[in-house]
Copies of this chain bind each other. A is one copy, B any other.
Amino acid sequence: MGNGKTGRITVRQIAEAAGLTIGSVSSVLNNKHVERRISPATVAKVRETAARLGYMPNINARRLRSGAESLNSVTLAVITSFEAPLTLVNHIIKAIRKAVDNERKNGSPYQFTVTIDMFNAGDLASVPGLLSGSHFNAAIITNTTPKDDHFLQRVQLPYPVVLVNRSVPGYPHVCEATDIGSRAADILVDHGRRKLAVLYGQPVTQVTHHRINSFMRQVYSRLGSTVQEIVADTLTERTAANAMRKCLEADAHIDGIYAVTDGMAIGAYHCIKQMGMQIPANVAVVGSGDYGFPALFDPPLATAGEDSIQRAESAVNLLMALIHQREIATTEIVTESTPQLRESLTGTRQPWSGFN
């Protein structure tokens, strides 16, 4: 079986095996046998042969052939590293869905298809169709590692691309401010914390690098002291909790922590509570608000600023503008946000503040 090249069965091979023409085969396969008045015997033979040979239609050929629909079709890819939490990706998918609904309401001629491509951290280059543009018409790329960023810088992608929370020369992008970390430092210091630590996981991405650095710089500038670095092996909550525990067991004097991602913050919360300490009485915790959902935390997590949802929407809007070749004020967007002083820092309960 097979066509000699890949083993994939085609309608032509079914037709040959069944002693029919491809037109009849196709009609049966599309359940058009009634209107085409195909004989029951032929229908049965086609179905049996297709099943026996393990026929799987070529979607690209089908869509190409189905005229108008095919012409309208635009494929958007969301490309993310497999290791990263899917929270940000969820925001992007929801933002796409929203934008696509808008397009339809405004009479856009396009029919959008959304695909998800995940790559192993550092292996962005392996995403099918990335260089050739043969798999999608436009892409949002996020959660890349420095190696991936470097790869992007060397190549040029032949379709509209928007990076989220990554800045690479030549690519439109939507990023948070690079001094988010310094705001975390400010609010911790302003609330009387003096022995500060930063909790982050590996690998350190571009955005976490900025968070960490601006935090450390600002702490030094405000207090003249250095920051203890607590480094988790991976980006998971579990390793964050483990790293925290090791640190707190060795040095109980830390009174304020900046957890550079909300995943890290969950680990920190878990560990601090398990060790019988109080947030913020013993240790204040400030996060980055990247999950966009403070109600997950008890006490509600103070953040250096929350803009994940806004960032996702900006990125999608920018991509749509690029696709439609609309006038664009800037292709380098920085989302703004202000620190959220919640109970994990202030100790003051704010009723019903957990939902945004």
Interface residues of A (CB under 8 A from B): 3, 5-8, 29-31, 51, 54, 56-64, 66-75, 82, 86, 90, 93-94, 97, 109, 111, 113-118, 128-129, 132-137, 158, 237-238, 241, 266-267, 269-270, 273-274, 295-296, 298, 323-325, 349, 351-352, 354-355
In the complex, are the beta carbons of A31 and B158 less than 8 A apart? yes
Q: What number of copies of this chain does the assembly contain? A: 2
Given A86-B93, A93-B86, A298-B273, residue A56 in contact with residue B118 (CB < 8 A): no
**Is the pair B241, A355 in contact by a Cβ cutoff of 8 Å?**
yes
Give complex CA distance A295, B56 in Å: 42
Closest 8 CB pairs of A and B: A60-B63, A60-B64, A6-B71, A238-B355, A8-B71, A60-B60, A86-B90, A298-B298
Provide the residues of chain B in CB contact with A75, threshold 8 Å: 59
Majority secondary structure, A binding face:
mixed
Give chain B nearest CB distance to A2 CB in angstroms. 9
A131, closest chain B residue (CB): B31
Q: Which residues of B contact A128 (CB under 8 A)?
A: 69, 111, 113
A61-B64, A237-B295 known; A132 vs B93 contact (CB < 8 Å): no
Q: What residue in chain B is nearest A351 (Cβ atoms)?
A: B274
A97 CA to B296 CA, complexed, in Å: 27
CB distance from A5 to the nearest CB of B (A): 6
Q: List 12 A-B contacts (CB under 8 A).
A: A5-B71, A6-B68, A54-B324, A56-B323, A60-B60, A60-B70, A93-B116, A113-B115, A114-B115, A115-B116, A267-B295, A270-B352
- Other than A69-B134, A238-B355, give 17 A-B pairs with Cβ distance below 8 A: A8-B109, A54-B325, A56-B74, A58-B71, A59-B134, A60-B63, A62-B133, A62-B134, A66-B132, A86-B86, A90-B90, A93-B118, A111-B128, A113-B128, A113-B135, A270-B295, A273-B298
